[in-house]
């Protein structure tokens, strides 16, 4: 039986979740089957949080291979010194387009650096929140067909301002030069900062870019529901 204190606590937590952006990092999974069709809406994407079957609906960081379009709630800083694209890179949907197939492909690219030490972590992107937000951050990888080992052994996100959560995606085993996406659900407040980094697998490291998609708030809805159930049980107990 739920006590009155537990019921009140559940209700308070539910209200707080609705009104405050709670800082967190959750690794959601890897999409290694969408490949080039990240903007193609008739290509199923079970990990897409907003249900439109496209990555980067809110925005994307794809320099140097396409013009970036960032969401209003975030800014991105590239932390590695070099960018590159060329015809030997993997192809992917041109982000300027969004909709059903066919969408024209373009050659992708990477943000990267050389002279790295295998097994050491290197920061690749910095994401700063300009507004309170809950969103899915997609890390674009496996964009370099002729040099796939440049992609890190894993992909991680750490919150460096507003918290210190670090989540690893585990080993990046699908290095076949056909674009992949590692997805993290992030929540935070204005001024929070997240660092995207990876562990070098060889003497170079690089990533292809970032995508941003709004995450609905099922967590707060679930908590509100639990609070309502708890309140019902409480009043039932009083009868």
Tens-digit pLDDT profile for residues 55-114: 999 999 999 999 999 999 999 999 999 999 988 889 999 999 999 999 999 999 999 999
Q: What tokens were used for 196?
A: 């995207």
Phi, psi of 150, deg, nearest 5: -65, -25
pTM for the structure as a whole: 0.83
Q: Distance between CA 114 and CA 125 in Å, rounded? A: 16
Q: What tokens were used for 117?
A: 């030490």
* Residues near 19 by beta carbon (within 8 Å), at least 6 away in sequence: none
Considering the domain boundaries, does residue 98 fall inside one? Answer: yes
Query: Following CA atoms 139, 144, 145, 150 in sequence, which dihedral angle do they give, to the nearest 10 degrees?
Result: -100
The neighbour count for residue 43, using CB atoms within 10 Å, is 18
Considering the domain boundaries, does residue 153 fall inside one? Answer: yes
Considering the domain boundaries, does residue 168 fall inside one? Answer: yes
H/E run at residue 8? helix 4-19
CB 179 within 8 A of CB 36: yes
pLDDT at 123: 97
Closest CA to 123 of 155, 89, 91, 92: 155
CA distances in angstroms from 162 to 21, 24, 130, 167, 211, listed in the order given: 11, 9, 13, 15, 22
- Position with higher pLDDT, 237 vs 165: 165
Q: What CATH code is carried by the domain that includes residue 29?
A: 2.60.120
pLDDT at 3: 52
Considering the domain boundaries, does residue 233 fall inside one? Answer: no
The residue-averaged pLDDT of 106-132 equals 96
Considering the domain boundaries, does residue 7 fall inside one? Answer: no
Q: How confident is the model at residue 49 (pLDDT cuts 50, 70, 90)?
A: very high
CB 175 within 8 A of CB 149: yes
Total number of domains constituting the chain: 1
Q: How confident is the model at residue 21 (pLDDT cuts 50, 70, 90)?
A: low
Structural domain containing residue 194: 24-217
Considering the domain boundaries, does residue 3 fall inside one? Answer: no
Considering the domain boundaries, does residue 107 fall inside one? Answer: yes
DSSP secondary structure string for all residues of 130-160: SS-EEEEEEEEE---TT-GGGS-SEEEEEEE
Considering the domain boundaries, does residue 184 fall inside one? Answer: yes
- Cα 99 to chain centroid, rounded: 21
Q: Per residue in 137-185, pLDDT tens?
A: 999 999 987 777 888 999 999 999 887 788 888 777 677 788 999 999 9
Q: Distance between CA 168 and CA 88 in Å, rounded? A: 29
């Amino acid at each position: 039986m739920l006590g009155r204190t537990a019921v009140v606590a559940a209700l308070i937590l539910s209200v707080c979740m609705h009104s405050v952006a709670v800082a967190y990092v959750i690794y959601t999974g890897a999409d290694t089957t969408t490949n080039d069709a990240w903007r193609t809406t008739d290509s199923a994407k079970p990990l897409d949080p907003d249900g439109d079957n496209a990555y980067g609906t809110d925005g994307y960081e794809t320099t140097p291979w396409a013009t970036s379009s960032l969401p209003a709630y975030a800014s991105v800083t590239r932390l590695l010194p070099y960018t590159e694209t060329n015809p030997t890179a993997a192809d992917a949907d041109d982000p300027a387009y969004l909709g059903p197939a066919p969408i024209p492909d373009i050659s992708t690219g990477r943000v990267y650096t050389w002279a790295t030490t295998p097994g050491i972590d290197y920061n690749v992107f910095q994401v700063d929140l300009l507004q309170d937000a809950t969103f899915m951050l997609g890390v674009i990888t496996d964009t370099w067909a002729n040099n796939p080992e440049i992609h890190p052994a894993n992909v991680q996100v750490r919150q460096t301002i507003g918290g210190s959560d670090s989540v690893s995606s585990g080993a990046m085993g699908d290095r076949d030069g056909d674009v992949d996406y590692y997805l993290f659900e992030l929540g935070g407040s204005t001024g929070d900062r997240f660092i995207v980094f990876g562990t070098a697998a060889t003497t170079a490291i690089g990533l292809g870019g970032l995508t941003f998609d709004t995450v609905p708030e099922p967590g707060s809805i679930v908590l509100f529901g639990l609070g309502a159930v708890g309140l019902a049980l409480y009043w039932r107990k009083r009868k």
